């Protein structure tokens, strides 16, 4: 019995608040810092479990769905350099060309067939059709895409090397905001009609 008391003494200074060092569950109500959110002062096991990693609705034009477990959905990963997302692709489903500014990605196949690819800075093309048992790694910040290559729905689990990886879709960046059409044309060499057509599709102005 005496050992308890001793250990408490031995550890008392070094471990008061020690759990705040082991992890830093995000207090999403406080302003972020360059290293992430400030830590919540009190946590339970439920902070460490994300319970919504489930198929999303693919009844949309892209026939695809992304269910993120990033820091805003899963505050316990704050500062730990990891996140996850579930990708569901209906038949014909697609994830448009995009990049993650701050994270590499592992795509772990769960079911179906997905053709995925990325382009490196020296403009080499890396593309392959993947199935259950395969993992593809996509290095940080490179443009990449995925589409369903099979006759049934397809699912993959994505994991990323940041708790807040961001995502920039090329179409969304070019056509889904107020960026001046003339600027888009000048810096992409797309035709005027093409830009206007996609601005309409993606709801952009300018």
Q: Which of residues 152-191 bind a second copy (CB under 8 A)?
A: 157, 159-161, 164-174, 176-180, 183, 186-191
- Please give, one letter per residue, the 3-state secondary structure of 117-180: EEECCCCCEEEEEEECCCEEEECCCCCEEEEECCCCCEEEEEEECCCCCCCEEHHHHHHCCCCC
Contacts of 191 (CB under 8 A, 6+ apart): 185
User: Using the rule CB under 8 A, is 111 a contact of a second copy?
Assistant: no
Q: Which of residues 4-23 bind a second copy (CB under 8 A)?
A: 4-7, 9-11, 13-23
User: Using the rule CB under 8 A, is 198 a contact of a second copy?
Assistant: yes
Q: Which of residues 79-108 bind a second copy (CB under 8 A)?
A: 79-85, 94-97, 99-102, 104-106, 108
Give the x-and-dash track for 33-72 against a second copy (CB under 8 A).
xxxxxxxxx--xxx-xxxxxxx-----xxx-xxx-xxx-x
Length of the chain: 206
144 belongs to an annotated ligand binding site? yes
The residue to which tokens 């895409």 are assigned: 145
Cα gap 67→88, rounded to integer Å:
8
Among 88, 147, 154, 181, binds a second copy (CB under 8 A): 147
Positions at the binding site for Mn(2+) = 98, 100, 105, 144
């Amino acid at each position: 019995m005496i050992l308890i008391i001793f250990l408490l003494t031995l550890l008392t200074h070094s471990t008061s608040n020690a759990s705040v060092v082991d992890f830093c569950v995000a207090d999403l109500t406080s302003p972020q810092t360059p290293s992430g959110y400030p830590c919540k002062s009190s946590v339970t096991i439920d902070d460490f479990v994300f319970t919504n990693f489930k198929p999303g609705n693919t009844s949309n034009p892209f026939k695809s769905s992304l269910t993120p477990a990033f820091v805003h959905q899963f505050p316990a990963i704050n500062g730990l350099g990891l996140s996850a997302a579930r990708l569901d692709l209906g038949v014909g489903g697609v994830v448009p060309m995009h990049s993650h500014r701050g994270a590499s990605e592992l795509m772990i196949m769960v079911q179906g067939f997905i053709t995925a690819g990325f382009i490196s800075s020296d403009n080499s093309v890396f593309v392959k059709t993947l199935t259950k048992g395969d993992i593809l790694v996509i290095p940080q910040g490179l443009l990449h895409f995925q589409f369903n290559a099979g006759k049934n729905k397809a699912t993959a689990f994505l994991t990323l090397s940041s708790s807040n990886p961001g995502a920039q879709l090329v179409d969304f960046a070019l056509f889904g905001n107020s960026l001046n059409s003339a600027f888009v044309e000048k810096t992409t060499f797309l035709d005027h009609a093409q830009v206007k057509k996609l601005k309409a599709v993606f709801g952009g102005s300018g």
